[in-house]
Chains A and B, each alone.
Chain A
Amino acid sequence: MKSSKKVLLMSTYPIKGALTGGPLRVKAILEEYKKHFKSVSHVAVFSRYHHPAGYEPTDIAVRGDLAQATRYAPDTSDYLIGKAIATDKELRARVIAYIEQLHPDIIQIEQMFCWIGLKDAIKDLSYSPQITYSSHNIEWSMKKELLDGLGYKREDIAQMIEDIKSAEYDLASKASAVFAVTKADGESLVAMGAKSYTLARNGVFPLNAQEKDIEYWRAYFAQRGIEQIAVFIGSAHPPNIQGFKEMIGFGLGFLKRNQAIVLAGDVGTNIMDNLDRQDAQQFTSLRRLISVGRLSHPRLQGLLSYAHTILLPITEGGGSNLKTAEAIASRKPVVATTKAYRSFDEFKDAPQVLLADTRQKFKDSISRSFEENNVTKLDSKVDVNSVLWSVCLQPMSQKLEEI
């Protein structure tokens, strides 16, 4: 029987049509909660410039000068929006009015940024909802690492990092429940003031490729003389790009003519846009490197189904890896770094997984995976279903029912 508690999830991005990363996790949480609670909603406080088409009518888009400020700050718009929930009178009023109208018993903050402003704005409410924190990463250190990597000056971002850090500490210590994607993150949150944490790692929806989508890719690659592909799916998040460069790079002459590495998602677009076409190594990599860009969900499923090997060249970044869960659920051969399997340790010794932590070993593993040509070398002792969202997020709904 479903609980009568009303739950509202809040984030700084819409989740309509979510395919990757944070939005996909929130979408999965929403679906999971709907199985256990009668009333579950999500609201995004977001910038239309970064999500021009995919949002719900009830999502709250920032306006005016604030919207302009976020337009040219894709790396810090989450912070700007979060802060503005307190400081921008118009936005504050709209957010509070929405919450009042919905009157949730529990407000779950997805990725702490809304809390930067909400911790103050919440005083405007006529009642006191419970707050839970759904952490996807240790945000203050991730943001610092991201902005450092992009070349921001320390003095320019110091206040921002401090605001995020103090809000994250505040949320961790005040939340009625704290959810973490890895044990390491959970322990960090306890150190930041959380009384305890509930582990709810990232998962995937079951692979459900249609034959027509698989056939699409078969024809696409056949036209290019390619018969075996190793796929790396990712956003343009810097750790994805860094991981590709560190573990694979552009020297792809070790691949045979009928083999290719395929990049799906913005990781591919970013790498292609920044390719130096006057450098012999980078230019000739295009003979064995294909970017298929952002894909619809069915096409992505088809690509995963068609792929011979999944690549997980993850070398940095916190949180746990949606891509790892996807790779496990696909039952395909995987070439991955040890870091990619953090929080999925029970899967890393499976026979279809080749772990490699140096570039040469990673490339040799790709060749070996192609050579072995063993599409589903699955270890029957491993329960692949345990990476599905429904299993991974069950602890969250259980905890929410308890509080």
Chain B
Amino acid sequence: MKRNGTVWLDLTDLQEWSGHFTGVQRVVFEYATRLVSDKSLNVRFLRFNQYHKDIKEIRYEDVFSNENDTHPTQVEGVHMDVKDRIKQQLIRVSGSLPPFLQEQLTQDRKKKLKQVAKKVYRGAQKAKHGAAVLKHRLVRNVQPSSYKAVTLTDQDTVLIVGKLWDYPEYVDLLSVLKQKVGFRYIQLIHDIIPVYQRHLFGDGLFEPFSNFLFEAVSGADELICISDSTAADVRFFAKDIGIQKELAIKRIQLGDTPQITAEATKPDFVSDKEKFLLTVGTVEVRKNHQLLYSVYKLARERGVTLPKLVVVGGNGWLTENMRFMVEHDDETKDTIVFKSGVSDTALKWLYQNCLFTVYPSIYEGWGLPVRESFAYGKYCITTKRSSLPEAGGTMAGYASGYDANEFLEKITETLNNLAAITKKTQKYQPYTWDQSYETLRSIIS
């Protein structure tokens, strides 16, 4: 059925977002910025208001304006300025102290002062973030007269790309409306890991996620998956819940062009000539950092020296014990370093200057960190689990995510043949978000 109505993109999970866009929010942002400029489609935006339990129209600029602090580079610019300024001030102050006081500033005391300064800084950032979130919530959920209720028709298309499962009442409302109104419902599915890999998440996600997925798979007119692996998982789920007909699932590839246009800046936790490996991603059990700990321990046992491993990612779940071990083990506390809140420009520097990346994840919907590594011309060692062979193709190196010996061998083989092995990745042509959008557009229209 050809529809002539509005294409509504849901922005619900961005309305309360403040700060750096990652993962799913990044995907929503990239498609939103292209949809809003696409004159061939009649695009508008909506969101679910969880306080009033209704669906309201929202303007693109309400969510993505600079003054609302949600543009990723804008936020990181502020982040960098403040941090750099504090650092500069401390250096200036310590330099201007009288000699007898400077003598008291031993390395140990400097280190302790630095830790205190970091804690103060983090506390200030948290307060700033909290104030921003509060501001967003107040702005979003006070209903100015310009926020109109959305009346969907059977000519409309509703496109959901974000994390609908965070809003169970929205899942219910949307499914009832879909049944009653008959609009076209397009759902992009990133992965369904919480359904069949419950052990990789804490309590509380399986239920809302399963409910969302049930309504999406049984109710959507179009399903889009970001990998063949995810599509296969969705087909399995469909059969499991009693849908006999073969689902026609469309495939879309996410963009992996490096987004950071600003100049790279060296973070202070890596010294100039230091060789290091890099792994990027939330520190959660699924990303399998525990394997990397085993790899480094095994290397040590065998007398193999590995480069420092820099782990960049926010704190996730089910990894406290692993982190404790790494950070308290004298053999690893300086060779495996966890860094969160790393700025975009620092991350860019890390990608540009690492030897290669490792990504031993147990399960993925796609594997964007693998492609991002290639986009920086860097080889990546990953696993053959789920969608990772699709993301890695013939450019990545592979080893078992459950075999520290195999992974170590792959790392040492790569270190010994780095130039030859990384030739291919240096010629990698990133897949752009514009290309990804073209696929989405062809599905919508």
> Could you list which residues of chain A lie within 8 angstroms of chain B, going by C-beta atoms?
225, 249-258, 277-278, 280-281, 283-285, 287, 360, 363
Chain B residues whose CB sits within 8 angstroms of the CB of A284 once the complex forms: 210-211, 213-214, 241
Indicate if the CB atoms of A360 and B244 lie closer than 8 Å.
yes
With the chains together, A360 CA to B196 CA distance in Å? 24
Which of A255, A257, A258, A284 has most B Cβ within 10 Å?
Answer: A284
Given A225-B179, A249-B242, residue A287 in contact with residue B237 (CB < 8 A): no
Residues on B with C-beta less than 8 A from A287 are 211, 214-215
Q: Which residues of B contact A280 (CB under 8 A)?
A: 195-196, 210, 237, 240-241
- Chain A residue nearest to B173 (CB atoms) is A225
Interface residue tally of chain B, by bracket? 20 to 34
Q: Are A283 and B207 in contact (CB under 8 A)?
A: yes
Max count, chain A CB within 10 A of own CB: residue among B238, B239, B241 = B241
A-B contact pairs, 26 of them (CB 8 A): A225-B175, A249-B242, A250-B242, A251-B243, A252-B241, A253-B218, A253-B238, A253-B243, A254-B242, A255-B218, A257-B179, A257-B215, A257-B218, A257-B219, A258-B179, A280-B195, A280-B241, A281-B240, A281-B241, A283-B207, A284-B210, A284-B241, A287-B214, A287-B215, A360-B244, A363-B242
Q: Are A251 and B240 in contact (CB under 8 A)?
A: yes
Using A257-B178, A284-B214 as known contacts, list a sample of 11 further A-B pairs with CB atoms less than 8 Å apart, ordered by residue number in A. A225-B172, A251-B239, A252-B241, A253-B238, A253-B243, A257-B176, A258-B176, A278-B206, A281-B241, A283-B207, A283-B210
Closest-by-CB residue of A relative to B207 is: A283
Nearest B residue (CB) for A360: B244
Interface residues of B in 170-202 (CB under 8 A from A): 172, 175-176, 178-180, 195-196, 198
Say how far A226's CB is from chain B's closest CB, in angstroms: 9
Nearest CB of chain A from residue B173's CB, rounded to whole Å? 9
Most buried by B among A251, A253, A283: A253
Partner of B214 from the list A253, A258, A277 (CB cut-off 8 Å) is A253
Query: CA A225 – CA B241 in complex, angstroms?
Result: 20
Instruction: Identify the closest chain B residue to A248 (Cβ).
Output: B242
Interchain nearest-CB distance for B247 vs A (Å):
11
CB distance from A316 to the nearest CB of B (A): 23
- Bound Cα distance A257, B198 (Å): 26
* Complex alpha-carbon distance, A281 and B242, angstroms: 8
Q: Report A-chain residues with C-beta under 8 Å of the C-beta of B210.
A: 280, 283-284
CA distance A366 to B82 in the complex (A): 64
Residues of A contacting B213 with CB < 8 Å? 284
**CB proximity of A313 to chain B, nearest CB, Å:** 15
Contact A256 B179 (CB under 8 A): yes
> Does B217 lie at the interface of the complex (its beta carbon under 8 Å from any beta carbon of A)?
yes
Q: Which 10 A-B pairs have the closest CB atoms?
A: A251-B242, A253-B241, A257-B179, A225-B176, A284-B214, A253-B218, A253-B243, A253-B242, A257-B175, A281-B240
Of chain B, the residue at the smallest CB distance from A280 is: B195
Chain B neighbourhood of A251, CB < 8 A: 239-243
Residues of A within 8 A of B219 (CB): 257
